[in-house]
Amino acid sequence: MLRYRLTLFRLLGFPIQIDATWIFIAVLILWSLSTGLFPMVLPDQDPAIYWRMGGVALLGFAASIVLHELGHAVVARSYDMPIRSITLFIFGGVAEMEKEPPSAKAEFWVAIAGPIMSVVVAVAFGALAYLFGGPPALPEIGDGQIQTAMPEAVVFSYLAFLNVILAVFNMVPAFPLDGGRVLRAILWGVRGNLMWATRVAAGFGSGFAALLVAWAIFNLTAGNPVGAVWYFILGLFVHSAAQGQVYYQKIRSALEPRPVKSFMRTELVVVDPDMPVERLISEYFYTHYYKSFPVVHRGELLGVVYASDVRKTDSPERLRVRDVMRPADEDLVIQPDTDSATALQRMQINDQTRLMVCERGKLIGVIALRDLMNFLSIRQDLESG
């Protein structure tokens, strides 16, 4: 999930992206509003009007989710937690954080900022609905009442209602929903034990997931298979996200006290930037069987050269290592005293299996994903044995 995404624009410095799965949900929303909800609430209009209302409502829907995530992102940034992006995907939105909350207080305010933002947005859309003459009266079956609301008022009422739902649903105390994070922050603050707080909050998350699955079964027996499938998938998603967080927290607490230098390997095979690529292939890739090599000149790390990048070049006989290497930027480099949980996270975010350990620009070692995984697996064996 979240592999095929497109950056639309930047808002307050955050890249706003859509994931391919969002297209599916956007089509579903547009279709169900334009052919279902709007014709029911505001009958006897031209179909073109319903589609226009649907289009505006879809934009408002996307904006509502972006604003909710923006609430999280702005508060996170104020606590020095960088946000990589805000992404719309099939289950709504996500503000991707590169760091964990530094304190219970930070987690509390970051988590609650999204629902607070949704309440504010709900009030704003409600005000707009009243500017256009107020929301439509709820249709009562068989009373023959004629609806006189304006299309704008219908759309803004819908968006106000949607934001109330967003705030309420997200405040369910089921980790990893916002309400679950608020719960975890409170538990963490009270006892000072993040692992315990995560377990309890994730327990609530899995309990809520079980309710969603039960609700799916009820929908199935009530003749609503589409709703049933939706709630079932949502239940599975919440459950796996909750348990994933417990697993993730275990890894963090195992790696956090250990600095990068305790896992670092110092016997290095490095290449010179002026080496011809042909020699790199025969004497390095086919001799040492690494997929990448640090490029070093006089002890200084200049970049990393990857087998996959060499493969893409047309004429390796005329190229040198410096022509095909990737520059040593902060995605690939880490400091020896940084904790290993941060190293693991950086590998995952940047899809790397090794990071270069540098001190004042000089390469002093390499930390490998495989070594971190071996350590975690040994620890697991010792603890459950």
Measured CA to CA, the distance from residue 106 to residue 112 in angstroms comes to 10
Q: Select from 47-55, 178-186, 258-266, 362-370 the region that touches Zn ion (CB under 5 A).
A: 178-186
Smallest distance from the beta carbon of 109 to Zn ion, in angstroms? 12
Cis peptide before 176 (omega within 30 of 0): yes
Residue nearest to Zn ion (CB): 114
Is 178 a binding residue for Zn ion by CB under 5 A? The answer is yes
Nearer to Zn ion, 119 or 281 (CB): 119
Contact present, 291 and 366 (Cβ < 8 Å): no
Please, which residue, 114 or 303, has the CB nearer to Zn ion?
114
Give the span between the Cα atoms of 106 and 248, in whole angstroms. Answer: 19
Choose one: 12-20, 113-121, 139-147, 286-294; the region binding Zn ion (CB under 5 A): 113-121
170 vs 342, beta carbon nearer Zn ion = 170
* Shortest distance in whole angstroms from residue 166 CB to Zn ion: 8
Q: How far is the CB of 115 from Zn ion (least distance, A)?
A: 7
Nearest CB to Zn ion, comparing residues 17 and 170: 170
Q: What are phi and psi of 105, to 5 degrees?
A: -65, -45
Give whichever of 70 and 367 is closer to Zn ion, judged by the CB atom: 70
CB 62, min distance to Zn ion, A: 15
- For Zn ion, which is the closer residue by CB, 212 or 271? 212
- Which 265-294 positions form the footprint of Zn ion (CB under 5 A)? none
Alpha carbon distance 292, 290 (integer Å) = 5
Among residue numbers 133 through 172, which ones bind Zn ion (CB under 5 A)?
A: 170
For residue 249, the Cα-to-chain-centroid distance in whole angstroms is 16
The nearest distance, CB 91 to Zn ion, in angstroms, is 11
Cβ neighbors of 39 (< 8 A, separation 6 or more) are 45, 50
Q: Which of 114, 136, 151, 294 binds Zn ion (CB under 5 A)?
A: 114
Number of residues that bind Zn ion (CB under 5 A): 3
Residue 19 touches Zn ion, criterion: CB under 5 A: no
Tokens 């909050």 -> residue:
201
Query: Closest by alpha carbon to 67, among 91, 90, 95?
Result: 95
- Per-residue x/- mask for Zn ion, residues 30 to 69, rule CB under 5 A? ----------------------------------------
Structure tokens at 193: 């034990």
Q: How far is the CB of 183 from Zn ion (least distance, A)?
A: 14
107 binds Zn ion (CB under 5 A): no
Closest contact distance (angstroms) between CB of 50 and Zn ion is: 30
Which residue number, 19 or 178, has a Cβ lying nearer to Zn ion?
178
Binding span for Zn ion by CB under 5 A among 75-83, 130-138, 173-181, 251-259: 173-181
Nearer to Zn ion among residue 73 and residue 357 (C-beta): 73
Q: Which residues bind Zn ion (CB under 5 A)?
A: 114, 170, 178
